[in-house]
């Protein structure tokens, strides 16, 4: 039996009025409280940020094409890599999967008609928009040259626009907390009657774990950046070593947020992977509970690892060892997930479609990034690699190789769910090959650069690094080309793509048990969740 032959589950016949067609005025989008529409608003806003951050990345790479000045001055370069980091971390990756896909999919996966607080949800979008606007406006007030980490004492004295940028991030943090609070309340209280926790789809679990990190870590960043802003604007000097301030203390507070933030970014992508694999292997996850517990394990242990960013900042070897060991616990939980996913694929009936291709890219890139992560979590090795391109390559393997491939897998997997249209599989495979191949070519040389001694954030480099820099830059062009293709064929698919039917992948997951695109109230008539989200053995319709 192929995917196309699978019976449509009951209640999933296309309905007359979808949420997309119900109302089409500007007002109906701008003031919507429909979680699906808010998810789409977030999707476009964060994708715009991805584009902006991507342009900065391309310019940075072009600058490294030749030694010495290529296209920009040192000052411009500093502003470019800072805004690349700020935009990608806070304006794209953190809100992207949870606020865009989480918003759209989670209520469908728990059989709810809405999130618990629809108006808070909309507010969260506008708060995000306000914060993002302020961050980008700082570009016109001199930009910011501190790096995305805002390390003091430099950040409290640089003439750059520190205050607007940290204010913008502070406000975006509010949006993040609002989204987190909303999802926690939603998953706890809005589940369909009888839908127990251990029957929830794994994507919902991932968003739930992410939300916990969002509400507990974000306020600490807010406080750390508030003090940096006050130091910068009013010369309060709380982190100024000349007045008894402790810059390392800032690093502790900053990484107490910013390391868990890595899991805010990657856990949702892991949730996407956990949902895509059973659908395309037509199998129950090898161990559902192992994935759930490792998700919650990462959410918890993630709070105890921040010190591994500070091995060279004045930390005792005992502390460094403790933080190293705790960091490796994350690797154990991640490995549990990867092994479970691979075991799920084993002897599955695999349909090699684009979402699964991105999952394979995730396997390879994330695992590679994770293993180099174990390496840099070891103090003896990290002393050599600290602040070099090795670290840059490592976290891009996690962030792009993990989060971004998860984001693209989600986009392709749920495109028919959101729009009811199917994209062109041939073009999507071409884009996948360009993105994955381009990524590998861009970032693999950076491991060698870093190991050879190339420091990160340097404008210029010695001639012996040049060939590796050129390979990396050329790779980034392939990556960019792939990323340009995606919106083109997706836009075409939205207007002209073939109708996908309610469940083109033959998935058993709950969000597919309604029309695609779903009706305004998500489900027409009573919802049947009696068959589990990953149960591919029980026939779902009377005639099957």
Count Cβ atoms within 10 A of the Cβ of residue 481 and give its class: 0-12 exposed, 13-18 middle, 19 or more buried: middle
Residue 235 per-residue DSSP state = -
Q: What six digits make up the tokens of 323?
A: 């933080």
- CB of residue 252 vs another protein: minimum separation in angstroms? 8
The single residue among 73, 133, 189, 467 that binds another protein, judged by CB under 8 A, is: 189
Segment contacting another protein by CB under 8 A, of 97-105, 210-218, 324-332, 397-405: 210-218
Residue span binding another protein (CB under 8 A) among the ranges 67-75, 96-104, 107-115, 466-474? 107-115
**13: helix, coil or strand?**
coil
Q: Which residues of 300-333 are buried (b: 16+ CB within 10 A; e: fewer)?
A: bbbbbbbbbbbbeeebeeeebebbbebbbbbeeb
Q: How far is the CB of 39 from another protein (least distance, A)?
A: 16
DSSP state of 99: I
| Comparison of 52 and 206: residue with beta carbon closer to another protein | 206
If binding is defined by CB under 8 A, does position 222 make contact with another protein?
yes
DSSP helix/strand/coil, 200: coil
Residue 218 near another protein by CB under 8 A: yes
Query: Site for another protein (CB under 8 A): which residue of 39, 102, 111, 180?
Result: 180
**According to the 3-state scheme, what is the secondary structure of 116-145?**
CCHHHHHHHHHHHHHHHHHHHHHHHHCCCC
Buried residues in 441-468 as b, exposed as e (16+ CB within 10 A): bbbbbbbbbbeeebebebbebeeebeeb
- How big is the chain by its Cα radius of gyration, in Å? 23
Among residue numbers 251 through 290, which ones bind another protein (CB under 8 A)? 252-253, 256
Of 220 and 408, which CB lies nearer to another protein in the complex structure? 220
Indicate which single residue of 58, 62, 216, 322 sits in contact with another protein (rule: CB under 8 A). Answer: 216
Closest distance of CB 254 from another protein, Å: 10
Does the footprint of another protein cover residue 331 (CB under 8 A)? no
In the numeric block, which tokens belong to residue 485? 């293709």
Report the alpha-carbon distance of residue 489 to residue 362 in Å, rounded: 22
**Spatial separation of the C-alpha atoms in residues 301 and 263, rounded to whole Å:** 10
Of the candidate residues 58, 72, 238, 481, the single one contacting another protein (CB under 8 A): 238
Give the nearest distance from C-beta 242 to another protein in angstroms: 11
Assess 296 for contact with another protein (CB under 8 A).
no
The residue from 105, 127, 202, 227 that contacts another protein (CB under 8 A) is 227
Q: Does 181 bind another protein (CB under 8 A)?
A: yes
174 vs 368, which CB is nearer to another protein? 174
Q: Is the dihedral of CA 428, 430, 433, 439 positive or negative?
A: negative
| Number of other residues whose CB lies within 10 A of the CB of residue 98 | 27
Interface pick for another protein out of 10, 142, 153, 219 (rule CB under 8 A)? 219
Stretch that binds another protein, among 19-27, 250-258, 459-467, 526-534 (CB under 8 A): 250-258
Burial class (CB in 10 A: 0-12, 13-18, 19+), 258: buried
Question: Segment near another protein (CB under 8 A), from 216-224, 279-287, 356-364, 383-391?
Answer: 216-224
The CA distance from 387 to 217, in Å, is 24
- 236 scored as a contact of another protein (CB under 8 A): yes
Q: Which is nearer to another protein, 17 or 246 (CB)?
A: 246
Cα–Cα dist 435/361, whole Å: 9
x/- binding map, residues 148-177, to another protein, per CB under 8 A? -----------------------------x
The whole-angstrom separation of Cα 506 and Cα 7 is 8
Among 188, 384, 426, 464, binds another protein (CB under 8 A): 188
Q: How far apart are CA 534 and CA 457, in angstroms?
A: 46
CA distance 50 to 92: 6
**Residue list 43-72, contact with another protein (CB under 8 A):** none
For another protein, the closer of residues 299 and 365 by Cβ is 299
From the list 12, 89, 97, 116, which residue makes contact with another protein (rule: CB under 8 A)?
116
| Residue 237 in contact with another protein, rule: CB under 8 A | yes
| Helices assigned H by DSSP within 302-353 | 317-345
Residue count at the site for another protein (CB under 8 A)?
A: 40
Q: Which residues bind another protein (CB under 8 A)?
A: 112-114, 116-118, 177, 180-182, 184-186, 188-190, 215-220, 222-224, 227, 230, 234-238, 243-246, 249, 252-253, 256
């Amino acid at each position: 039996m192929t995917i196309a032959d699978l019976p449509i589950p009951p209640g999933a016949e296309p309905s007359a009025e979808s949420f997309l067609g119900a109302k089409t005025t500007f007002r109906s989008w701008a003031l919507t409280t429909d979680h699906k529409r808010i998810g789409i608003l977030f999707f476009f806003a964060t994708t715009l940020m991805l584009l902006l951050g991507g342009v900065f990345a391309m310019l940075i790479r072009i600058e490294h094409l030749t030694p010495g000045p290529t296209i920009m001055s040192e000052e411009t370069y500093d502003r470019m890599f800072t805004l690349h980091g700020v935009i990608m971390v806070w304006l794209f990756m953190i809100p992207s999967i949870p606020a865009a896909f989480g918003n759209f999919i989670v209520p469908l996966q728990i059989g709810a008609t809405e999130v618990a607080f629809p108006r808070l949800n909309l507010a969260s979008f506008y708060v995000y928009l306000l914060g993002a606007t302020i961050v980008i406006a700082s570009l016109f007030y001199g930009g910011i040259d501190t790096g995305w980490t805002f390390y003091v004492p430099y950040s409290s004295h640089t003439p750059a626009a520190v205050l607007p940028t940290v204010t913008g991030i502070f406000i975006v943090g509010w949006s993040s907390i609002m989204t987190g609070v909303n999802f926690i309340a939603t998953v706890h209280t809005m589940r369909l009657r009888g839908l127990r926790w251990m029957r929830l789809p794994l994507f919902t679990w991932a968003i739930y774990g992410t939300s916990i990190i969002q509400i507990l870590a974000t306020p600490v960043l807010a406080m750390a950046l508030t003090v940096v802003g006050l130091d910068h604007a009013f010369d309060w000097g709380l982190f100024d070593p000349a007045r008894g301030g402790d810059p390392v203390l800032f690093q502790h507070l900053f990484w107490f947020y910013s390391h868990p933030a890595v899991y805010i970014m990657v856990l949702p992508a892991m949730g996407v992977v956990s949902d895509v694999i059973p659908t395309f292997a037509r199998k129950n996850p090898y161990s559902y509970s192992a994935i759930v517990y490792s998700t919650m394990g990462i959410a918890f242990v993630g709070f105890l690892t921040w010190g591994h960013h500070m091995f060279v900042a004045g930390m005792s070897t005992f502390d460094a060892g403790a933080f190293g060991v705790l960091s490796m616990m994350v690797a154990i939980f991640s490995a549990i997930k990867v092994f479970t996913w691979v075991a799920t694929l084993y002897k599955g009936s695999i349909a090699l479609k684009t979402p699964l291709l991105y999952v394979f890219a995730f396997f390879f890139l994330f695992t590679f990034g994770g293993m180099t992560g174990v390496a840099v979590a070891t103090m003896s090795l990290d002393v050599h690699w600290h602040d070099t391109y090795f670290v840059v390559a490592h976290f891009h393997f996690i962030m792009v190789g993990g989060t971004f491939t998860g984001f693209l897998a989600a986009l392709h997997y749920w495109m028919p769910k959101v729009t009811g249209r199917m994209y062109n599989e041939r073009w999507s495979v071409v884009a996948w090959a360009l993105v994955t191949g381009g990524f590998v070519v861009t970032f693999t040389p950076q491991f060698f650069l870093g190991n050879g001694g190339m420091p990160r954030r340097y404008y210029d480099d010695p001639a012996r690094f040049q060939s590796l820099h050129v390979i990396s830059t050329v790779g980034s062009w392939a990556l960019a080309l792939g990323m340009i293709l995606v919106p083109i064929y997706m836009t075409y698919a939205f207007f002209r793509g073939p109708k996908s039917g309610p469940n083109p992948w033959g998935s058993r997951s709950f969000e597919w048990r309604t029309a695609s695109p779903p009706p305004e109230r998500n489900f027409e008539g009573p919802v049947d969740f009696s068959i589990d989200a990953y149960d591919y053995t029980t026939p779902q319709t009377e005639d099957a």
